[in-house]
Structure 1
Amino acid sequence: MTTTVTTGQAVAARAVDVWKVYGSGEAQVIALHGVSVELERGQFTAIMGPSGSGKSTLMHTLAGLDSVTRGEIFIGDTRLTGMSDGDLTNLRRTKVGFIFQQFNLLPTLTAEENILLPLSIAGRKADPKWYETVIDTVGLRDRLKHRPSQLSGGQQQRVACARALVSRPEVIFADEPTGNLDSRSGAEVLSFLRNSVREYGQTIVMVTHDPNAASYADRVIFLADGQVVDELLAPSADAVLDKLKGLDAKVESAADASQAG
């Protein structure tokens, strides 16, 4: 199924007939099965689906962290498919931000040093005004000199969010960003991400299994068996949960039919 944005907004990232195949012969696994999807600039998109649906694989290919077997990936107008490793590394440093479930902060660096690390590696300096905006937005000004071990899980993830935002990337990819957080800390992080889209025009693509987390998004894309099968605009947690229940039922039904055959 092809999902195409038709609102006239610029596209931040897109997949065109993307296939991702692992292994061969009887061990072959088709993780993505001809996926075509466009992700609008300045929009918060959640990607959801049953376990093994291909949602993380789709995010990794869109972010240039994994290659595709067939098809094309674009960040803005830049074609990732066929890029050299060096060019991909440079693109990820300049155009893409990442937020991971495990925070991925360096324990020996302060919060401020962790936030500025990607820019330092790229040999760039933060825009002072934007840096101050990001720090105020995440609400960690009084924690900048603290190391990760001195911060709560929610504070560490907000440091990771600030690190992703400070370079003003074209798109931020978030992989289960609230998976290791309690509900209050998770809500703080999601509100921050929602705010960065609404107030600053950031583009965020988030993989999540949590219907409540997905309700912060503008749009939810649903995958099953490596294909885009549905979407929701302006989603509520209940509407997302209903969609997921329907997908789970279809997957179980298909598995039962396969075993019966």
Structure 2
Amino acid sequence: MTTATTTRHAAGVADAVKVYGSGDTAVRALDGVSVGFPAGRFTAIMGPSGSGKSTLMHCAAGLDTLTSGVAFIGDTPLSTLDDRRLTLLRRDRVGFVFQAFNLIPTLTVAENITLPLDLAGTKGSREWIDALVDVVGLRDRLHHRPAELSGGQQQRVAVARAFAGRPDVVFADEPTGNLDSRSGEEVLNLLGRAVRRMDRTVVMVTHDPVAAAHADEVVFLADGRLVDRMESPTADKVLDRMKAFDAKGGRS
């Protein structure tokens, strides 16, 4: 059976298995996961602690390798790349936002945002950077250094830096984990605006149902397996789904 349109995936994995250790101490963090992350969409990954959600993100982003199966960015299988080409792919086609802001303290906001472009030896698009600065709301902070910013402002700089090179996909690992609820809400709204106003793709790992509700879709993992997907999530629906994991004895 064929469909009229085919979803284009910015990233994903097929039959992904990840095993840590060997023998009696082996841990199967991913157990045959196949999932694609649609381009131009905001996808959240959720599951109990130990479900494999961070492992899935790290393998899909090329930060870790699969034991078996395939991870891909666009049409490129990551397993076909040597270390140099994988590094270049991550630099040019993937953005990252982590719980820690990872800003360079001696650089200004403007210099931190354009750091990936500077390291790549390219100026990028001035119009794109200007539009990005407006989206994240930092035009009046461009000449400040990280120590002069609040935590929420620093994470907004990190988000802008992740999008500066127009990557195919931005992976965000608990991006609001170090923020208060108000600052976290600002960062989540920012990620949503980048997807909808700038046609970007975001894949976010989170444990927070409120954060997940900002996504277009939530994929749920349990015991290293993909067990559910939810379109148009709300915080209440996500929380109910997570409670169901606890009732079934999901790992904590």
TM-score tier after normalising by the smaller chain length: over 0.9
Q: Which residue of 2 aligns with 1:190?
A: 188
Once the two structures are superposed, residues 1-33 of structure 1 have per-residue CA deviations (whole angstroms, 9 ceiling, x without a partner) of xxxx99632111120101000001111000000
Q: Which residue of 1 aligns with 2:171?
A: 173
Once the two structures are superposed, residues 86-122 of structure 1 have per-residue CA deviations (whole angstroms, 9 ceiling, x without a partner) of 1110000100000000011111111111111111111
**For 1:227 and 1:6, how far apart are their aligned partners in 2?**
29
1:8-87 paired onto structure 2 within 5 Å: 8-87=6-85
**Of the candidates 98, 118, 138, which is equivalent to residue 100 of structure 1?**
98
Aligned length: 250
- Cα drift, residue 251 of structure 1: 2.6
**One-letter code of the match for 1:207?**
V
What SS class does the counterpart of residue 42 from structure 1 fall into?
coil
What SS class does the counterpart of residue 81 from structure 1 fall into?
helix
Q: Which residue of 2 aligns with 1:162?
A: 160
Q: Identity, % of aligned pairs?
A: 61
What SS class does the counterpart of residue 249 from structure 2 fall into?
helix
**Of the candidates 148, 151, 155, which is equivalent to residue 150 of structure 1?**
148
Q: Which residue of 1 aligns with 2:130?
A: 132
Once the two structures are superposed, residues 225-258 of structure 1 have per-residue CA deviations (whole angstroms, 9 ceiling, x without a partner) of 0000001000000000000011122235x89xxx
**One-letter code of the match for 2:135?**
T
**For 2:150 and 2:15, how far apart are their aligned partners in 1?**
42
What SS class does the counterpart of residue 231 from structure 1 fall into?
strand
**For 1:211 and 1:126, how far apart are their aligned partners in 2?**
36
* 1:235 equivalenced with 2:233 (yes/no): yes
**One-letter code of the match for 2:103?**
L
**For 2:138 and 2:176, how far apart are their aligned partners in 1?**
18
- Cα drift, residue 126 of structure 1: 2.3
Unaligned runs of 5+ in 2: none
Q: Which residue of 2 aligns with 1:224?
A: 222
TM-score, normalised by the number of residues in structure 1: 0.93
**For 2:120 and 2:63, how far apart are their aligned partners in 1?**
18
What SS class does the counterpart of residue 21 from structure 1 fall into?
strand
**For 1:99 and 1:229, how far apart are their aligned partners in 2?**
26
**For 1:85 and 1:102, how far apart are their aligned partners in 2?**
25
**For 2:65 and 2:44, how far apart are their aligned partners in 1?**
21
When residues 62 and 144 of structure 1 are mapped into structure 2, their CA distance, relative to the original with a 3 A threshold, is same
RMSD: 1.5
**For 1:111 and 1:27, how far apart are their aligned partners in 2?**
45
**One-letter code of the match for 2:142?**
L
Where has structure 1 moved over 6 Å in runs of 4 or more?
A: none
**One-letter code of the match for 1:84?**
D
**One-letter code of the match for 1:20?**
K
**For 1:230 and 1:8, how far apart are their aligned partners in 2?**
21
**For 1:185 and 1:148, how far apart are their aligned partners in 2?**
16
